[in-house]
Chain A
Amino acid sequence: MKIPAIALNTFREAVRNKVFYLLLFFGVFFAFSSRFVSMLSVGDQQKVLMDVGLGSIHFFSVLVAIFTGINLVYKEIEKKTIYNILSKPITRLEFVLGKFAGLALTLLVALASMALLFFLFLFVTTGSFAPRCLIFFGLLYIELLIITSLSLVFSSFSTPILSSIFTVTLYLVGQVLWTFQEFKTRLHEPFSRYVATALYYLLPNLDKFNVKNEVVMDMPLPGGRLLAAAAYGIVYVAALLTLAVVIFRRRELK
């Protein structure tokens, strides 16, 4: 009852905030840009629409995840609303989980709205549905949950600006983490190789969730790969939330 109460309140805050204006902007941006690009480009119009559309959705939803996550937790502390919540019989674990659940619900609604808009636009423009895009949205959602958990970890001990920088940096590193494996083979010193290996396993490997090319180009997507990516995502989120709770429990609210 307490976790859903905090989750619903977080969702309500996000909805009554500016997040959905951003989505509206996305809708207009997407509708115009993908059509414009498809008119300019040579080749399969549907593939271009999908490529630009899914790319835009990826970009905007990551933005929403980073800034909603950091902003909502930061505001609780900065505006001191957290004092009131934690003076009630609420544990810090319940608070973090409630916040996470609320952010996850916000992202689900945001992503579902964008996906709906995308499918509608694709259908009106090309007359087809492209159900494989659902795989893209599913994995993107897990990626967004990792980003939200990262922002929760950082905002549990840091300022919003630093949290944004940390989260964006880790997001960018996460996109190209596969290069660490390549990089490792070129290192000669054992210590540097250990560091590269440790970073490869510790940092979020977000590339695992990007199946845009496979979906757009109609390339095969083995079930095993998808399941492994989903399991990796869930374990990573659980680890980050545990870390956020541990840090937040130690935090003193001056």
Chain B
Amino acid sequence: MMAALEIRGLEKSYPSTFGTRRIPVLRGIDLTVAPGEIYGFLGPNGAGKTTTIKCILGLLRPDRGSIRLLGRDADSLESRRNLGFLPENPYFYEYLTIRELLHFTGRLFCMSGADRKRRVEEVLRQAGLWGREETKLGKCSKGMIQRAGLAQALVQDPEVLILDEPFSGLDPVGRKELRDLVLSLKSSGRTIFFSSHILQDMELMVDRVAIIINGRLVREGRLDELVSRSVRHYELVVDGVDEKDAARTGLAGERRDNHTIIRVESLEEVNQKIRAVHVLSGRIAAMIPVKLTLEDIFMREIGK
């Protein structure tokens, strides 16, 4: 099956301030995004996420490597016809209304008047902007700009969407709405490649994820492979056991707000601990299975 996006050996460097040497920003990126999947591109600020995206869009010329979009060279105009892009902190012409922006975008794709009118209405509804289309972009809230940005990325009905930090600056409601919209786009068969450093959003949406640090991909794979679905360990929250008794019977743990929190590695051990607590006339207040999160992996990779 043809990949929606395929990057091989991508390298990019920028000249230093005085142009005496080149500073590497991307040091050989390889990744493949399958059609119809949501691919998360995760990394701390300055890791090379936006540079990678700019190389995909042809705004920057790679030093080395190849980028193919739906089987075509990403630099070709043809491949960009099938690409929708939402920039980070999108700035659009403040003097345009949302409707004017969408029509302008449609014209750049050489859409006919009737086609444009139909698609503009569709994307306005899809992005939740119906009824607010005459608002000038200079007067829009951050959330509305983000929606307008997504709407303009969808005008020509692209197969692949690239979203650069789509959640930055959105409040929790805005993030939830954007997540739902992206998931609905996936269900209509589109491929979505998005960069973010907001792990929670990523964990709720992506099929696959790549972690980029210092211009290198340090992890790449299916989210469910990276983030173990199985429990890493359990935390038993115990009440009513004297600290000395607890230490004597192997129930030592961390004291927190009149509770003792005991880290337990297996279910078998959980049962042993519960019996020990009952012997000491204590009470199990809670048992929390602790899973490995994307954040754990991310923090491990960036060495914190």
Residues on A lying within 8 angstroms of B by beta carbon are 1-2, 4-6, 9, 12-13, 16-17, 79-81, 83-91, 252-254
Residue of A13, A16, A87 touching B57 (CB-CB under 8 A):
A87
Question: What are the residues of chain B within 8 A of A83 when measuring CB–CB?
Answer: 54, 57, 59, 87
Q: Is the CB of A16 within 8 A of B95?
A: yes
A252 near B59 with CB under 8 A, answer yes
When C-beta atoms are compared, the residue in chain A nearest to B86 turns out to be: A84
Task: Given A252-B59, A254-B14, A254-B60, answer yes or no on A88-B91 (Cβ-Cβ < 8 Å).
Answer: no
Contact B108 A85 (CB under 8 A): yes
CB–CB B105/A88 < 8 A: yes
Give every chain B residue within 8 A of A79 (Cβ-Cβ): 91
Q: Which residues of A contact B108 (CB under 8 A)?
A: 2, 5-6, 85, 88-90
Within 8 A of A (CB), among B85-116: 85, 87, 89-93, 95-96, 100, 104-105, 107-110
State which residues 58-75 of B face A: CB under 8 Å. 58-61
* Proximity bits, B177-217, A CB within 8 Å = 1, else 0: 00000000000000000000000000000000000000000
Q: Which B-chain residue is minimally distant from A86 (CB atoms)? A: B59
B80 contacts the other chain (CB 8 A): yes
Given contacts A1-B110, A2-B110, A252-B59, is CB(A80)–CB(B96) below 8 Å? no
Q: Which residue of A lies closest to B60 (CB)?
A: A252
**Cβ-defined contact, B85 with A89, below 8 A:** no
Chain B residues with CB under 8 Å of A85's CB are: 108
Residues in A neighbouring B57, C-beta threshold 8 A: 83, 86-87
Which one, A1, A17, A84, A91, contacts B95 given CB within 8 A?
Answer: A17
- Closest residue of chain B to A252 (Cβ to Cβ) is B60
A-B pairs with the 8 shortest C-beta distances? A5-B107, A89-B77, A16-B95, A87-B85, A253-B59, A87-B57, A89-B80, A88-B108
| Pairwise interchain contact B105-A81, C-beta atoms closer than 8 A | no
- Give min CB distance, B50 to chain A, whole Å: 9
Chain B: how many interface residues by the 8 Å CB criterion?
29
Contact call B59/A88, Cβ cutoff below 8 A: no
Given A9-B93, A16-B95, A81-B93: A87 and B59 within 8 A (CB)? yes
Is there an interface contact between B59 and A2, defined as CB atoms closer than 8 Å? no
Other contacts beyond A2-B110, A6-B108: 14, CB < 8 A: A12-B96, A79-B91, A80-B91, A81-B93, A84-B85, A84-B87, A84-B152, A87-B80, A87-B83, A91-B77, A252-B60, A252-B61, A253-B54, A253-B59
Residues of A within 8 A of B93 (CB): 9, 13, 81
* B78 CB–A CB distance under 8 Å: yes
Q: How distant is the Cα of A90 from the Cα of B59 in the complex, in angstroms?
A: 11
Contact for B104 among A5, A16, A17, A253, CB less than 8 A: A5
Q: Which residues of A contact B77 (CB under 8 A)?
A: 89-91
CB of A89 to closest CB in B, whole Å: 4
Give Cα A159–Cα B104 distance, bound, in whole angstroms.
27
